[in-house]
């Protein structure tokens, strides 16, 4: 053995040991680096807990609170003709839809969704992204609002519908390329989200637009794009004639899993014939989702049609069909849920809701007792069906808020009610008076269709007084019951102030 080799051997263990120490040190530094800063090259393995999902573009899992509705029910599925939760139990979602996100988006944010969840009890929200009318086709940035709403709903444990809201563009194929682009992006972003539902065409319409020739071929192109990233998400498919002909879809169904066919109704326009189509579709094994319904006529005006709405909702409840009301907006139309006094951050009192909004709120809550009417005059005018003769809205004095109704001798304020399907009607209000004599009174009367009858007679009160009047039996189940406030005074300066009018009732079983 050469001399040089003899003396090199003792160095080998030292060299090996030194090498291992360096490798260990470098490995430790590498691990510490990846833990301390975001590394865009790493991919997070999704948590197996169904209450977790991932933020789009982030490797940090997002926790869905387990005591929320989504946390409890998990990823939805269709079994037969029924929407079911992760445990294969039938489930019915109830909620409300936005209006044009690009016009009324200020009303849709985490604060308002949280209020709707906590105060109304919604379990689903629909983000209606119009395609035309200034929507996505003209301004693709509106999709950023959709993303904001999805994130808010997910954090709050609410199911969220991403709605490709075609309307004036009645044929879904008109913008099919844009639809492919949009749903490819959305389904990739939210592929791990258990609460996202896709609605691929709101209301197909037009004489030449039908299920087999227009809508089904469109769906057969869009659904595989969603399924590539989100293989099990619920997909809602609109039907012909503004999403009414669900029977046609049931006769020629799509061959994909977790598909539901969309039906829309407005209580003042649609009735038994449309309900028959739904029953036919169910019997054929089609799953139905009512992603839009209104208390008004199909135009969004007229009504509120309470009796017809209750008939519809009882029908849906008996079949556990999910439903979403139209709409969360303060637009000047009957179907809008909010008065223009409503804050863009939620925290709405009943005074901030329209008559439609009140009905929808108490339906979603599942309450047997409803508020039929509520007004604190904060709109500074007589709205919600109040008919004034000589009265004014003033900020001279108020019980709550900043405004009240002012009445002098001979002035009256009338509210007409439709109490069909309701009993145990009760009137609540607050009043005070200025410069009343012993001969001056506030008179409250009721009209049952044949004659006015006095319900109460109130003398002067310098301080605000709260009044509660149980209305007579003939006020119940009455299509046109009227309540009248009348100032009966003898002094020109005598004034009655009214505030916080509220009418409650019990829904018939």
pLDDT value at residue 163: 98
Long-range Cβ contact pairs of 57-65 (< 8 A, separation 24 or more): 57/189, 62/154, 62/155, 64/154, 64/155, 64/157, 64/194, 64/195, 65/157
Specify the DSSP class assigned to residue 420. T
**pLDDT band at residue 60 under the 50/70/90 scheme:** low
Question: What does each C-alpha distance from 506 to 225, 356, 378 come to in angstroms?
Answer: 48, 16, 26
**Class of CATH domain 386-507:** mainly beta
203, 333, 378, 445: the catalytic one is: 203
Each residue's pLDDT tens digit, 442-463: 999 999 999 999 999 999 999 9
Whether 292 is catalytic: yes
Mean pLDDT score, 368-392: 97
**pLDDT band at residue 3 under the 50/70/90 scheme:** very low
pTM for the predicted model, two decimal places: 0.88
**pLDDT band at residue 56 under the 50/70/90 scheme:** low
Look at residue 287 and tell me whether its pLDDT is greater than 80.
Answer: yes
Alpha-carbon distance 433 to 461, whole Å? 5
Each residue's pLDDT tens digit, 78-100: 999 999 999 999 999 999 999 99
**pLDDT band at residue 50 under the 50/70/90 scheme:** very low
Judge residue 36's burial from the number of C-beta atoms within 10 Å of its C-beta, 0-12 exposed, 13-18 middle, 19 or more buried: exposed
Q: Report percent pLDDT > 90 for the chain.
A: 86
Least confident of 7-21, 250-264, 268-282: 7-21
Mean pLDDT score, 408-430: 97
**Class of CATH domain 55-367:** alpha beta
Alpha-carbon distance 324 to 96, whole Å? 5
Look at residue 38 and tell me whether its pLDDT is greater than 80.
Answer: no
Specify the DSSP class assigned to residue 310. H
Alpha-carbon distance 415 to 99, whole Å? 29
Show me where the domains of the chain are located.
Answer: 55-367, 386-507
Mean pLDDT score, 121-131: 98
Look at residue 54 and tell me whether its pLDDT is greater than 80.
Answer: no
Alpha-carbon distance 379 to 401, whole Å? 11
CB 157 within 8 A of CB 52: no
Specify whether the backbone of 298 is left (phi greater than 0), alpha (psi in -120 to 50) or beta: alpha
H-type helices in 92-211, by residue range?
A: 101-104, 110-115, 143-156, 176-189
Mean pLDDT score, 277-304: 97
Beta bridge partners of 235: 198, 259
pLDDT value at residue 32: 37
CB 440 within 8 A of CB 422: no
**pLDDT band at residue 509 under the 50/70/90 scheme:** confident
Using CA of residue 352, residue 264, residue 186, residue 86, what is the dihedral sign? positive
Look at residue 246 and tell me whether its pLDDT is greater than 90.
Answer: yes
Specify the DSSP class assigned to residue 466. E
CB 415 within 8 A of CB 425: no
pLDDT value at residue 24: 40
Q: Which two tokens stand for residue 103?
A: 């016009």
Each residue's pLDDT tens digit, 137-157: 999 999 999 999 999 999 999
174, 292, 355, 378: the catalytic one is: 292
Q: Report the mean per-residue pLDDT for the chain.
A: 90
Each residue's pLDDT tens digit, 397-408: 999 999 999 999
Distance of CA 195 to the CA centre of its chain: 15
Alpha-carbon distance 81 to 75, whole Å? 17
CB 99 within 8 A of CB 324: no
Alpha-carbon distance 33 to 467, whole Å? 69
Each residue's pLDDT tens digit, 340-376: 999 999 999 999 999 999 999 999 999 999 999 999 9
């Amino acid at each position: 053995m050469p001399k040089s080799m003899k003396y090199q051997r003792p160095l080998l263990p030292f060299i090996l040991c030194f090498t291992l120490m360096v490798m260990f040190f470098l490995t430790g530094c590498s691990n510490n680096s990846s833990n301390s800063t975001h590394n865009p090259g790493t991919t997070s393995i999704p948590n197996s807990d169904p209450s977790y999902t991932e933020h789009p573009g982030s490797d940090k899992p997002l926790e869905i609170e387990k005591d929320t509705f989504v946390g409890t029910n998990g990823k939805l599925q269709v079994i037969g003709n029924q929407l079911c939760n992760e445990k294969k139990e039938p489930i019915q979602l109830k909620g409300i839809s936005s209006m044009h996100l690009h016009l009324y988006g200020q009303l849709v944010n985490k604060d308002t969704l949280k209020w709707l969840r906590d105060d109304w009890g919604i379990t689903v929200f629909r983000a209606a992204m119009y395609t035309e009318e200034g929507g996505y086709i003209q301004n693709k940035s509106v999709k950023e609002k959709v993303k904001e709403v999805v994130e808010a709903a997910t954090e709050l444990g609410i199911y969220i519908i991403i709605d490709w809201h075609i309307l004036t563009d009645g044929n879904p194929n008109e913008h099919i390329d844009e639809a492919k682009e949009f749903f490819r992006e959305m389904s990739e972003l939210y592929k791990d989200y258990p609460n996202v539902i896709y609605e691929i065409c709101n209301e197909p319409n037009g004489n030449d637009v039908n299920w087999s020739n227009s809508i089904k071929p469109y769906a057969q192109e869009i659904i595989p794009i969603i399924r590539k990233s989100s293989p099990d998400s619920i997909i809602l498919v609109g039907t012909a004639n503004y999403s009414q002909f669900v029977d046609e879809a049931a006769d020629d169904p799509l061959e994909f899993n977790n598909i539901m066919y969309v039906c829309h109704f407005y209580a003042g326009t649609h009735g038994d014939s449309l309900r028959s189509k739904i029953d036919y579709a169910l019997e054929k094994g089609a799953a139905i989702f009512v992603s839009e319904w209104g208390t008004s006529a199909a135009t969004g005006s007229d009504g509120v049609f309470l009796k017809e709405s209750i008939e519809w909702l009882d029908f849906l409840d008996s079949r556990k069909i999910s439903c979403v009301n139209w709409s969360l907006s303060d637009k000047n139309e009957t179907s809008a849920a909010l008065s223009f006094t409503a804050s863009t951050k939620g925290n709405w009192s009943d005074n901030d809701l329209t008559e439609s909004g009140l009905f929808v709120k108490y339906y979603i809550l599942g309450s047997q007792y409803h508020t039929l009417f509520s007004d604190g005059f904060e709109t500074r005018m007589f709205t919600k069906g109040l008919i004034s003769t000589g009265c004014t809205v003033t900020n001279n004095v108020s019980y709550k808020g900043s405004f009240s109704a002012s009445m002098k001798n001979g002035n009256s304020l009338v509210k007409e009610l439709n109490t069909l399907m309701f009993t145990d009607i009760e009137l609540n209000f607050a009043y005070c008076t200025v410069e009343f004599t012993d001969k001056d009174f506030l008179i409250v009367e009721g009209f049952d269709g044949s004659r006015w009858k006095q319900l109460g007679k109130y003398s002067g009160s310098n301080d605000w007084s709260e009044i509660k009047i149980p209305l007579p039996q003939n006020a119940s189940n009455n299509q046109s019951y009227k309540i009248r406030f009348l100032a009966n005074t003898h002094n020109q300066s005598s004034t009655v102030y009214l505030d916080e009018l509220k009418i409650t009732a019990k829904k018939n079983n």
